Amino acid sequence: MTGAPMSKLEGDLAIVRVFDAPPTLVFKAWTDPKMLTRWWGPRMVTHSTCEMDVRVGGNLRIVMHGPNGAKYPMKGVFKEIVAPERLVFTSIAVDEKENHLLEGETRVTFEEVDGGKTKMTLYTKVVGKVPQAEFMIGGMKQGWTESIDKLGELLAQS
């Protein structure tokens, strides 16, 4: 870990959605960079980078850009991959010098329900942060909710 000392944070976020798409497609939307950039992040963000080495120990790097031009880079490592059932990865928001601002771990499960639909359960928890990252935590629920809404829209088009 680089940068200012991280503090522990109590708290987590869980989102459950059912998509009218098979688990293989929903899982692919999480692991294919071309699909991921179409839904990852809150509305109004764009992406300049989406690199994924989808294997246990593989890295992921995403750079989002807000409408004001601000860059929001993040990196992470895949900890567990069981296609198309489960995906676990770390996510670390970093600054332009790669200093860690906010560290989290996300677990996503994909369960087939109702003959071909997918119940997706996302659980993310913050495991460390620097004091100046409070604004990121404040927007975490909205950001994930908008992302999952966009994922649903993408899956409905597929």
User: Quick one: which H or E segment has residue 152?
Assistant: helix 140-157
Q: What is the pLDDT of residue 62?
A: 97
Q: Above 90 in pLDDT, residue 51?
A: yes
Residue 44's φ and ψ, nearest 5 degrees, are 80, 0
Please state the rounded mean pLDDT for residues 97-104: 87
* pLDDT computed for residue 96 by the predictor: 85
For residue 95, pLDDT over 70 is answered with yes
pLDDT at 2 over 90: no
**Where along the chain do its domains lie?**
12-157
Q: Tell me how far apart the alpha carbons of residues 85 and 87 are, in angstroms, rounded to a whole number.
A: 7
pLDDT band at 1 (very low <50, low <70, confident <90, very high): very low
The answer on pLDDT for 7 being more than 60 is no
**What pLDDT score was predicted for residue 29?**
98
Encoded tokens for 72? 């929001």
What is the reported pLDDT for 54?
98
Summarize pLDDT for 108-138 with one digit per residue, the tens.
999 999 999 999 999 998 877 666 656 566 6
How confident is the model over 57-77, as pLDDT tens digits?
999 999 999 999 999 999 999
Residue 9 has pLDDT above 50, yes or no: no
**pLDDT for residue 57:** 98
Mean per-residue pLDDT, 36-65: 96
Whether the pTM exceeds 0.85: the reply is yes
CB 137 within 8 A of CB 102: yes
CATH fold of 12-157: Alpha-D-Glucose-1,6-Bisphosphate; Chain A, domain 4 (3.30.530)
157's enclosing H/E stretch is helix 140-157
